[in-house]
């Protein structure tokens, strides 16, 4: 099928550098959330395909063309992948929007980020060569010691649908930079661009088995990957309940995992801000970008009482001004949510909030001009108390709930009143106050006078129920390395612990 001159490719599983039909030959329909139409299908892997892919990955590590590469050689592959992404940027961005409902503007920005992330880890792969072997001086004549940093092995990478290719890249790029062999399992709700990454790897001649891509359902393809005895690590981004299942499966084999899970992040706004509209726009972007389907979305607005009324008036004006349309339309700022399931989930959160006594200040209905598609107006909810579901649980949709505070202490308490710990934002021009909040916020990411800007040089991840481990930056590479100590006895003297029988 071709939409707006972009053909939806029909692919198989990408295993051992080739396209391969799933053993059970099943496929899953691709649904365009803007039209609810089936626009193609993807292969559905099962445990049998996982076995084949894991075997291909292990063989890649044993072969010199992947297992013995230097970081500099791997960097060449990563740079070639980045170049191909940019070459196909406009087509890939359109495919991403058709599959996930992201606005074309955001999908195009994602493709730039994807290419930049591959470039960044190419640099780190090169730098790894000089850090591969680090001598450690014990100041002892009889021992020579050093530490090796080696690829961890075969890694399973399980990713979500909200930034389909970007979330995959945050894991694939460092895993390949480290020299691991990887099996990527993207989300069944948006896999098109991840499969195209397979075609790109084939075109640039990435050695067979270094990256394998298995699309399919979580329980059928993700679960056997998590519990596979020959997979050395699972790096996961997705929901908390799936994270628990993956950690439980991995625990049986003492397999390491890293978990990037959900959040219910706060944005605290003080009355000392110079420009109300600038703060309003950050609050809006912090919660409604990507139609609110962002793990770090600052979906709890905690606003100082003295400016709350004026702030909300302006927030309302800005919100009404957001263009909701087909994500491929120019200037679209809010597309549909990803699936019918997600749509129903968002609506249920709104009706529960109403039933619990909260006020829907704005939104929450289907926009009148859009008869089809999983569209919902952005929603602002007030009269919220801290025992309500809408305060406590991640919606993963364009839903902002609002609470006011009087004092700094109260603001900190409200901000940290969550089981999650991914991100927090503060808007204030008081530098010392911002420092106090940076220390007090119980999260892995702090934004000061902004919300959401993300840079691949910086560590990404959370604490509490948002998971553990970090993607991105040098931390994102470390997690794919095994640290090996080597201790050599260099003396000619006997160790002399036991009595020699010859004496």
Note the residues at the interface with ligand LWGJIB7O (CB under 6 A).
Answer: 162-163, 294-296, 452, 454
Name every residue whose Cβ is closer than 8 Å to that of residue 82 and which is 6 or more positions away in sequence.
Answer: 114, 115, 116, 118, 119, 122
Other CB atoms within 10 A of residue 90 CB = 15
Other CB atoms within 10 A of residue 405 CB = 20
What is the contact mask toward Na ion in residues 14 to 33, using x (rule: CB under 5 A)?
A: -----------------x--
For helices 276-288 and 305-320, the axis angle rounded to 10 degrees is 60
Q: Which two tokens stand for residue 124?
A: 């780190």
Tell me how far, at minimum, the Cβ of 394 lies from ligand NAD, in Å: 6
Backbone angles phi, psi at 233, to 5 degrees: -160, 150
Partner that binds at residue 245, options ligand NAD, ligand LWGJIB7O, Na ion, none, CB closer than 5 to 8 Å by kind: ligand NAD
Q: Is residue 245 at the binding interface for ligand NAD, with CB under 6 A as the rule?
A: yes
Partner that binds at residue 99, options ligand LWGJIB7O, ligand NAD, Na ion, none, CB closer than 5 to 8 Å by kind: Na ion
Which are the catalytic amino acids?
260
Partner that binds at residue 158, options ligand LWGJIB7O, ligand NAD, Na ion, none, CB closer than 5 to 8 Å by kind: ligand NAD
* CB distance 366 to 374 below 8 Å: no
Tell me how far, at minimum, the Cβ of 217 lies from ligand NAD, in Å: 6
Q: What span, in angstroms and rounded, lies between the C-alpha atoms of 365 and 348?
A: 12
Count of residues interacting with ligand NAD (CB under 6 A): 29
Q: Is residue 242 at the binding interface for ligand NAD, with CB under 6 A as the rule?
A: yes
- 153 or 238, CB closer to ligand LWGJIB7O? 238
Partner that binds at residue 270, options ligand NAD, Na ion, ligand LWGJIB7O, none, CB closer than 5 to 8 Å by kind: none
Q: Is residue 33 at the binding interface for ligand NAD, with CB under 6 A as the rule?
A: no
Q: Which among 94, 92, 105, 163 is positioned nearest to 332, based on CA atoms?
A: 105
For helices 192-203 and 164-178, the axis angle rounded to 10 degrees is 40
Q: Which two tokens stand for residue 264?
A: 């219910």
Q: Which among 221, 152, 137 is positioned nearest to 186, based on CA atoms?
A: 221
- Give the CA distances from residue 444 to residues 238, 299, 419, 425, 480, in Å, rounded to whole numbers and listed in that order: 17, 16, 13, 11, 20
End-to-end CA distance of the chain: 86
- 31 or 401, CB closer to Na ion? 31
Tell me how far, at minimum, the Cβ of 266 lies from ligand NAD, in Å: 15
- 66 or 163, CB closer to ligand LWGJIB7O? 163
β-sheet with 181-185: strand ranges across: 18-20, 13-15, 211-213, 181-185, 154-158, 233-237, 257-260, 467-468
Of 168-227, binders to ligand NAD (CB under 6 A) are 185-188, 218-219, 222-223, 226
Of 406-465, binders to ligand NAD (CB under 6 A) are 422
- Give the CA distances from residue 30 to residues 38, 40, 101, in Å, rounded to whole numbers and listed in that order: 6, 5, 12
Q: Is residue 262 at the binding interface for ligand NAD, with CB under 6 A as the rule?
A: yes
- 179 or 243, CB closer to ligand NAD? 243
Name every residue whose Cβ is closer than 8 Å to that of residue 463 and which is 6 or more positions away in sequence.
Answer: 421, 442, 443, 444
Q: Is residue 96 at the binding interface for Na ion, with CB under 5 A as the rule?
A: no
- 283 or 303, CB closer to ligand LWGJIB7O? 283
- Contacting Na ion (CB under 5 A), which of 49, 96, 99, 106? 99
Question: What region, left, alpha or beta, does residue 259 occupy, with left being phi > 0 and alpha being psi -120 to 50 degrees?
Answer: beta
Tell me how far, at minimum, the Cβ of 258 lies from ligand NAD, in Å: 10
Shortest-Cβ-distance residue relative to Na ion:
99
Q: Is residue 260 at the binding interface for ligand NAD, with CB under 6 A as the rule?
A: yes
CA R_g for the chain: 25
- 17 or 186, CB closer to ligand NAD? 186
Looking at residue 207, the DSSP 8-state letter turns out to be P
Which residues make beta-bridge pairs with 324?
A: 334
- 20 or 185, CB closer to ligand NAD? 185
Q: Which two tokens stand for residue 178?
A: 């480290």
- 187 or 296, CB closer to ligand LWGJIB7O? 296
Q: What span, in angstroms and rounded, lies between the C-alpha atoms of 435 and 167?
A: 30
Q: Is residue 161 at the binding interface for ligand NAD, with CB under 6 A as the rule?
A: yes
* CB distance 458 to 423 below 8 Å: no
Partner that binds at residue 454, options ligand NAD, Na ion, ligand LWGJIB7O, none, CB closer than 5 to 8 Å by kind: ligand LWGJIB7O
Backbone angles phi, psi at 437, to 5 degrees: -70, -35
Residue range at the interface with Na ion (CB under 5 A); choices 54-62, 94-102, 203-211, 240-248: 94-102
Partner that binds at residue 239, options ligand LWGJIB7O, Na ion, ligand NAD, none, CB closer than 5 to 8 Å by kind: ligand NAD
Q: Which residues bind ligand NAD (CB under 6 A)?
A: 158-162, 167, 185-188, 218-219, 222-223, 226, 237-239, 242, 245-246, 260-263, 295, 394, 396, 422
Q: Which residues bind Na ion (CB under 5 A)?
A: 31, 99, 190
């Amino acid at each position: 099928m071709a939409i707006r001159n972009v053909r939806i490719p029909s692919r198989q599983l990408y295993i051992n550098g080739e396209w391969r039909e799933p053993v059970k030959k099943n496929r899953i329909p691709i649904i365009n959330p803007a039209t609810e139409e089936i626009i193609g299908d993807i292969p559905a892997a099962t445990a049998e395909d996982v076995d084949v892919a894991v075997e291909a990955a292990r063989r890649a590590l044993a072969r010199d063309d992947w297992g013995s590469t230097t970081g500099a050689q791997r960097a060449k592959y990563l740079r070639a992948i980045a170049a191909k992404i940019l070459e196909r940027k406009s087509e890939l961005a359109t495919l991403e929007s058709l599959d996930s409902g992201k606005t074309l503007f955001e999908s195009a920005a994602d493709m730039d980020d994807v290419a930049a992330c591959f470039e960044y880890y190419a640099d780190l792969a090169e730098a790894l060569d000089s850090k591969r072997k680090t001598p450690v001086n014990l100041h002892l004549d009889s021992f020579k010691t050093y530490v090796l940093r080696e690829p961890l092995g075969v890694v399973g990478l399980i990713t979500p649908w909200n930034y389909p290719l970007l979330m995959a890249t945050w894991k694939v790029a460092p895993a390949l930079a480290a020299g691991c062999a990887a099996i990527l399992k993207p989300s069944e709700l948006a896999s098109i661009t991840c499969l195209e990454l397979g075609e790109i790897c084939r075109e640039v001649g990435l050695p067979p088995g270094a990256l394998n891509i298995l699309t399919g359902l979580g329980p059928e393809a993700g679960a056997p990957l998590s519990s596979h005895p020959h997979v050395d690590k699972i790096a996961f981004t997705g929901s908390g309940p799936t994270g628990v299942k993956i950690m439980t499966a991995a625990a049986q084999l003492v397999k390491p995992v890293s978990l990037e899970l959900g959040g219910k992040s706060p944005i605290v706004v003080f009355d000392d801000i110079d420009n109300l509209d600038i703060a309003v726009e950050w609050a809006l972007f912090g919660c409604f970008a990507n139609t609110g389907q962002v793990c770090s979305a600052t979906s709890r607005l905690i606003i100082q009482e003295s400016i709350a009324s004026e702030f909300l008036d302006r927030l309302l004006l800005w919100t009404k001004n957001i263009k909701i349309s087909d994500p491929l339309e120019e200037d679209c700022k809010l597309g549909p949510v990803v699936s019918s399931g997600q749509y129903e989930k968002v609506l249920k959160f709104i009706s529960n909030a109403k039933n619990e006594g909260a006020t829907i200040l704005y939104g929450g209905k289907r926009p009148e001009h859009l008869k089809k598609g999983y569209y919902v107006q952005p929603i602002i909810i007030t009269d919220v108390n801290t025992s309500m579901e809408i305060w406590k649980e991640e919606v993963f949709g364009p839903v902002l709930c609002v609470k006011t505070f009087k004092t700094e202490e109260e603001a900190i308490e409200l901000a940290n009143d969550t089981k999650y710990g991914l991100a927090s934002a503060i808007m204030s021009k008081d530098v010392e106050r911002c420092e106090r909040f940076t220390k007090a916020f119980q999260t892995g990411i702090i934004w000061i006078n902004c919300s959401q800007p993300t840079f691949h040089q910086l560590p990404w991840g959370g604490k509490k129920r948002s998971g553990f481990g970090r993607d991105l930056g040098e931390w994102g590479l470390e997690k794919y390395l095994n640290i090996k100590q080597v201790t050599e006895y260099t003396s000619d003297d006997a160790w002399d612990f036991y009595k020699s029988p010859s004496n």
